[in-house]
Structure 1
Amino acid sequence: MVNSTALAQLFTRQDQALAAAITTDALLLGVVLGLAVVVQTRYRYFYFENALQRSRGPAPPAGVFGWVGFVLRMPESQIEEVAGLDALVFLHFIRTMLGVLLLFTASFGLLEVAVYVGCSFAVPEEFFPAGWSARLSLANVPKASEHQRCTYVTLAVSAVGMNCLTLLTLWALRRGWVRIVAARRRFMIAARDASARVVLVLGAPTAPVQHRDAVLQLWHELHPGAVLDVRMVRDCGSLPKLLAQREKLRQQIGGEVWAHPGCCRRAAALVAPPRRAVVQAEEGELILPADQAARRHSLLQKAREVDAAVAAELRARTAEEADAGRHFLILFSSLRAASAAQRLVHTETDAQVVHAPLPQDVRYEPLQPHGLLLAAAALPAMRALYVAVLFFYSIPITFVSTLLQVPTLERHSPLIKSVLDALGPAVTAFLTSFLPTVALLVFTAMLPSICVFLSESEGWPSHSLVQKQAFEKLFLFEFVWVFIGVAIASGLVASISSFVSDPTSALNTIGGSLASTSNFFFTLMLLQAAFSLPYGEVRLIPLLLHLSKRLVQKKTAPAPAAPHPASENLNRRLISQPPSSSSESVPQPSHAPPAAPPAEEVPPSNPPYHVLWSKVMMGVTIGVCFANVHLIATVAAVVYLAVCYVLFARAILFSHTNQFESCGRHFWPSACGWVLRILFTAQLLLAAVHSLKESFVTAALSLLPAVFAYLGHRHFNKVYLAQLDVLPLLYSVRADDALRRGEVRDVTAEERKAFETLYGEEIGVASDGTAVGTIDGDRDGDPSGNKKVIEHFRSLYMQKELEWPDGLQLSAV
């Protein structure tokens, strides 16, 4: 029997280090909370203005931390209403995995801990390391040859625990799939007048460019009477470059006298290259410095040339013969026809028919004929570049870190040595340890942007797909270098000489390294939960940048002054007598700079889902992989995921507005696939521990859940994945029938209102009982009822480069 004194002696140096880490994290949390109280009290608009700007969402709760209880009580239906399906998918995934880890920890995890601790006291002390944290780890259980009975019991319990964890995770993911598919299906029916009946046809990069008439004829033959319209993704040529140049000139010209559209032609005559500082206006004098008048004249002359080039290019790109491409969007008359089209396989043309992204989510540049060829060539290059970054990033970082070492800097610059001597030994010691890490810190800060750049260069057709690909790249990097690099590679590198001669010893080395790395991940998760996550959501750097911008705007804002009589008379004449748009007139663009936003306005920001998902998946990785090895790491991961849910839900609801809504299509399948890979990694690590303990029967039992995980992944992809894109035919027919009768099935009044606000689409029933946007006719004399739908479709899926800019006249060509 062990007395209290003996129990106290078990509190070793390792336990003291963990206790010190907890104390430090508590102090850091207090500092961050104090900072949050100060900044959110003084600059409350910065943290809650976004929800008000988008004219939807809950009102900011009272108090600095009043939002905590609000977020925890908020149901998922309200999350979908105010933030969209992507936010629902993200927060539902956190809830799902948090529930899995909590349920396992509170049930089988505690049983495992009791067995591990009981085994540690049942064997002689020389077979078990001292310390409470060591006694909670399966990796410290004696080998079977040393204490057979105790070891077999603990290993058998851990193997059964892995089977239970795998089955529990698969059950929770299946419930999530059903929930997300139902929400996605409800959205696709509600969006009946826009994206639900629109499909995107992706042609092969080597396929010939097709004209709209040929495409329309082909699809009319495939689906007689069901195709309403076709929108080809045209080649924009040099329009993006010209429009960017035009916008730059528009920003440069500025000035009150140029603010009214159409004034540039008359103003240009007033500022011909002067020989004096006073320019004669039509009535009175307009005083301008000579150099400013010459500069304005040069800019206006260049603006006229750019406008002429833009108009000529627009004429060429919007011509009837230019209405061609390899990719195109098709609007169908019913949900049934759209669903049937997505099931059609084009074996001859290799065309792929997918559900169309929302209009604001489409990336037209890689869908253009020339962009498609560039994307096809860039895809393997970008993937090779990512592999190089993944495996060889340390080479340039090590080189830069070597150059930033204090002895190296002193050797190349005597001035630096003098400065360091003047600063003192304390500052020198700090710089000696900090400077070599600058390169790694900069690379870590730039890594999310690098992943986004690589994903954009691969030519994905939507912004949400780019975010999903960036998430997978970012998390793969963290999974390889943060988790695998610490949990596995550290032990292998330390014992590389031993397993070169005996490769079978690799599993033993991996299993032995888990005993120490679990404490590292426990400390890491608590540090992230107590400091990194709260400090990131305080958004101190963006707040300082916002305040700096406000300060600059106030200092550079011109003081109000009385207008010059000539200038006032000129503006009055220009407004009352707009110039005619005859064929002889020169282009009259609006070159006035856009109005500055109010000083208190916070520009809307898109939620960085690729970063948020990566952070959540790292917590899931730690929690799942150590659930049956060392439960304290899983407990820390549970705390981390709980903090993630509270902070990220607040940010999504109040601080961010998702401009690239995928409506739950991309992130959920990717996250579920990663969870199953994480499960397989956890099973492999547990089998490594069992091999270290010379228990190969339980090691095989630990790998048995890998079969369940594979079958579950296959079942999810086969049954549920296709339903995220395609409505079942019977479901589509019933929805079309309800639409023809003017009914709105499966959509309540609150959901319909939320949809109209969130996605800008109009659904429901007209006053005469006819559903808006149906094929049963309308009140404007269109017997087929398709006129409004086609016009709405063309206005939604429109390439911005092909729209005539404000102030650009057709006579400019």
Structure 2
Amino acid sequence: MAMEIGGLLTSAGINIGLAALFLLMYSVFSKQPNNAGVYFGRDLLRQRKLNKLRERTLESFIPSVGWIVRAWRFTEAEVLETAGLDALVFLRVFNLSTKLFAICACLGAILAPLYYTVKHDSPSQIYTESFDHFTILNLNHGSKRYWVIFGSVYFISFCAYILLYLEYSSITKKRLEYLHNARPQPDQFSVLVRAIPKPSEGKSHSDMVEEFFTEYHPGSYTSHQMIYNAGHIESMIHKFELLQDEIGWMKKLDPSKRKPKRAGLCGLYGPKIDPIERLTAKLEDLHGKIRQAQHDVLHKNKEIPAAVVTFRNRRGAAVAAQSQQAENPMSWVTEWAPEPRDVYWPNLSVSFSQLWIRQIFVGVLVFLTTILYTIPNAFVQGVGNINILKNWKYMPKIVVVILDFPGVAWFVEGYLSTLLLAALLYFIPPMLLALSQLEGPSSKSNQERNAAAKFFYFLAGPVFFIQVLSASVLDEVEFLTDPAEIPLRLASDIPRQATFFMSYIMTTGWAGFPLEILQIGLLILNMLKRHTLKEDSNHPELELYSLPYYRVIPQLLLFILVGLVYAVIAPLLPPFLLVYFALGYVVFKNQIMHVYEPAYETGGQYWPQVHNRIVAALFLMQITFVGIFQTSMSTRVSALVVPLPILTILYYQYCLKRFYPVFVRFSVESTTKKDAEDERKGMKDEITKCLEKAYLHPALHPVELTRRASDSNTDPLLPSADSSSMA
């Protein structure tokens, strides 16, 4: 049953009201000096002057939209310099989507009246009608208006090809420029080596690495750093840092509030001592244990069969990282080393032979999770259908009576179901990230890209297809076993769910993006710190977080999928997406420049994943219209649409060969030019310095009893774009 337009308007009213409220709250809260650490953490980190913060005057409590203008004025060059290429690519996804759906919205201005005027002469009582009257479902079988639909499908497809090609080409150029301008970094000269063969008697893994690379890479190999299993030391260092924090907090307290405790067991006996003295003694004892554990790891041969090998130049590293080292492809396996801050050290101790087993295990877990998720998703579908709720035999009579009240049905169908779906999906990305870590990738960026891919498939499965098809699990299995029925089934079921996705767009975007910029969680935490821990508001301890690409990008791709599939079927949907992407662009541009601190830099490696998912969405749209024309006109007309999926596959294959290699490999040409340029600039000393102990396990670095100012989580993770990683 399709949602009435009144239900859609109810959802729009609620979400627009929430969006306005959140944006007004942000406008006021961001002007308060006490909230600088929440809304301008990156500016404080770099000691930028915050002119937008004011003292508590009447003006500071008056809402304004100045932040929107300031965010919009940031140029691509400023984003690249401040946050790196990954952040710029992320924003360009919003930009690309805005252009694409602006075209679709303009086309919709023609298609919507075309559908509605088939059976309506005037828009009387439009708010009580089904939204189906504004979709392709309103056309009669064999109507000549389908030829307009036919032309629209071709028009959108070619617009998408052009926009995607231009974007891929532009981002590829920016990646090459970015790599060319990057200053020397350890990962540009380093290769991660795994599956080192078992050493013969009297030799160590380190000896094996030295002999192998000296023999087979004699002109470029310089040194190596073995990987050690130092996880137990990490836990000790964590306790050490917590003790340092506790001592620092104690020192801020008034001496009269620090109650002395007895030195004996549980404070039951012995002389009374000051808490700071007691904690300092524990800190010194733990410091000695950490130093001893580090000595044992480094000098008692606790290395594992993995190492980071460094080379004299980038060309040598590229040859080693991108070639097979031994006759047995399962030994001496090489790959580009992640940049030091991107390394996920626990996974380096995972045996290379275990990786594929872990991948299979995680794949099964993700599949089972997806299947199990259909149960709560079916519940959400039930909530969104007022007739199902009324006819459920366990439903209390009082609830049935309430559902008959004016406006209640619109609220339940138009807003409640999408709110429940958004709540159910909130916990999925962290779970998928944990599973991606279990798979064994050596870098955090790889884990997040894997988690993003899993989350997109999760959204495309239970959220999109199950929501669209709205059938039992057994029906879906039967449906999938007959591929010939797929276009016909999509053609009949997709148009009926347009209003659900419109409401979902508003719930997660129109209200979700303002909630993102408000940072309600960090705001509450900041208030608790100031009022409970008495933290100095003028010198707050900054806790900066990185942008959760693995959570946000799949959501964007889902709505691109929805938008492309529904652009012609339900032409009133693209304007909703236009608002979604325009608002998201401004919000995340503001967050990238003022709030989020990059945790790594991959040089735009998210883009191929984004591009491929958009191409898949375009392919699904075209397959859907093969079914629509087959059921609504004739097989002959349907055959005229078949060239489009073929063109999409050819376009994808071209991009795979022309652009994709730039994002996964480094050419001998570019690395040789970069090496020659560094030599010409006399940067050999800088290169040598950047390689010194770059890949020593963090737990094996010296631990100081007194924390230096730079030993905090406020250190910039990305100094500047020109000093970022090559890989």
Q: TM-score range by the shorter chain?
A: 0.7 to 0.9
Q: What corresponds to 2:455 in structure 1?
A: 474
Structure 2: distance between partners of 1:657 and 1:446: 23
Give yes or no for contact 1:199–1:356 (8 Å, CA) kept in 2: yes
2:324 equivalent to 1:345 = yes
Q: CA deviation at 1:626?
A: 0.8
2:509 equivalent to 1:511 = no
2:141 equivalent to 1:143 = yes
CA spacing shift, 1:61–1:622, aligned 2, 3 Å: farther
1:161-190 Cα offsets, whole Å, 9 max, x none, are: 333323332332222222222222233233
1:112-141 Cα offsets, whole Å, 9 max, x none, are: 45654566679xx9xxxx969545422322
Listed as ranges, the matches of 1:5-16 within 5 Å are: 14-16=4-6
CA spacing shift, 1:120–1:699, aligned 2, 3 Å: farther
Q: CA deviation at 1:391?
A: 0.8
Listed as ranges, the matches of 1:372-387 within 5 Å are: 377-387=357-367
Q: What corresponds to 1:221 in structure 2?
A: 215
2:710 equivalent to 1:730 = no
Give yes or no for contact 2:187–2:339 (8 Å, CA) kept in 1: no
Deviates more, 1:464-473 or 1:341-350: 341-350
1:670-695 Cα offsets, whole Å, 9 max, x none, are: 11121122112212222232233142
Listed as ranges, the matches of 1:19-38 within 5 Å are: 19-38=9-28
Q: What corresponds to 2:31 in structure 1?
A: 41
Listed as ranges, the matches of 1:83-162 within 5 Å are: 83-106=83-106, 108-113=107-112, 116=115, 134-144=132-142, 147=143, 150=144, 154-162=145-153
| 1:223 alignment partner AA | H
Give yes or no for contact 2:87–2:592 (8 Å, CA) kept in 1: yes
Structure 1: distance between partners of 2:235 and 2:38: 36
Structure 1: distance between partners of 2:354 and 2:533: 41
CA spacing shift, 1:479–1:56, aligned 2, 3 Å: farther
Structure 2: distance between partners of 1:491 and 1:55: 54
Q: What corresponds to 2:638 in structure 1?
A: 699
1:594-628 Cα offsets, whole Å, 9 max, x none, are: xx996644421111111221221122122111112
CA spacing shift, 1:597–1:186, aligned 2, 3 Å: farther
Unmatched 5+ stretches in structure 2 = 54-62, 254-261, 383-404, 707-727
| 1:649 alignment partner AA | K
Q: What corresponds to 2:717 in structure 1?
A: none
Q: What corresponds to 1:685 in structure 2?
A: 624
2:681 equivalent to 1:792 = no
2:337 equivalent to 1:356 = yes
Structure 2: distance between partners of 1:498 and 1:663: 44
Listed as ranges, the matches of 1:236-385 within 5 Å are: 236=230, 238-247=232-241, 288=273, 296=278, 300=281, 304=285, 306-307=286-287, 309-319=289-299, 321-322=301-302, 324-346=303-325, 347-350=327-330, 351-368=332-349, 370=350, 377-385=357-365
Q: CA deviation at 1:640?
A: 1.0
Q: What corresponds to 2:154 in structure 1?
A: 163
The counterpart of 1:179, out of the listed 170, 175, 193, is 170
1:72-120 Cα offsets, whole Å, 9 max, x none, are: 23221221111111101101122112212223443x5545456545666
1:681-723 Cα offsets, whole Å, 9 max, x none, are: 2122222322331422333333432222222222222222221
Structure 2: distance between partners of 1:237 and 1:15: 58
CA spacing shift, 1:533–1:159, aligned 2, 3 Å: same
1:443-499 Cα offsets, whole Å, 9 max, x none, are: 533222211211111111111111112222222222222221222x21678998998
CA spacing shift, 1:57–1:473, aligned 2, 3 Å: farther
Structure 2: distance between partners of 1:541 and 1:619: 26
Give yes or no for contact 1:188–1:196 (8 Å, CA) kept in 2: no
SS of the residue 1:41 aligns to: coil
The counterpart of 1:674, out of the listed 609, 613, 617, is 613
Q: What corresponds to 1:634 in structure 2?
A: 574
| 2:319 alignment partner AA | A
Listed as ranges, the matches of 1:204-215 within 5 Å are: 204=195, 207-208=197-198, 211-215=205-209
Structure 1: distance between partners of 2:542 and 2:93: 29
CA spacing shift, 1:218–1:792, aligned 2, 3 Å: same
Q: How many residues align?
A: 652
SS of the residue 1:201 aligns to: strand
Structure 2: distance between partners of 1:273 and 1:693: 83
Give the TM-score normalised by structure 2. Answer: 0.77
Per chain length, whose mean CA-contact separation is higher, i.e. which structure has more relative contact order (CA < 8 Å, sep 6+)? Answer: 2
Identity rate, percent: 18
| 2:206 alignment partner AA | R
Listed as ranges, the matches of 1:320-719 within 5 Å are: 321-322=301-302, 324-346=303-325, 347-350=327-330, 351-368=332-349, 370=350, 377-393=357-373, 443-487=424-468, 489-490=469-470, 507-554=487-534, 600-665=540-605, 667-719=606-658
Structure 2: distance between partners of 1:13 and 1:378: 44
Unmatched 5+ stretches in structure 1 = 1-11, 260-269, 280-286, 403-425, 558-595, 743-770, 775-784, 809-813
Q: CA deviation at 1:547?
A: 0.6
Structure 1: distance between partners of 2:485 and 2:462: 22
Give yes or no for contact 2:31–2:52 (8 Å, CA) kept in 1: no
Give yes or no for contact 2:198–2:205 (8 Å, CA) kept in 1: no
Structure 1: distance between partners of 2:670 and 2:226: 29
Q: CA deviation at 1:637?
A: 1.4
Give yes or no for contact 1:139–1:689 (8 Å, CA) kept in 2: no
Give yes or no for contact 1:40–1:64 (8 Å, CA) kept in 2: no
Structure 1: distance between partners of 2:422 and 2:118: 44
RMSD: 4.5
CA spacing shift, 1:34–1:273, aligned 2, 3 Å: closer
Give yes or no for contact 2:224–2:307 (8 Å, CA) kept in 1: yes
| 1:546 alignment partner AA | N
SS of the residue 2:31 aligns to: helix
| 2:192 alignment partner AA | V
Rg (Cα) greater in structure: 1
| 1:629 alignment partner AA | I
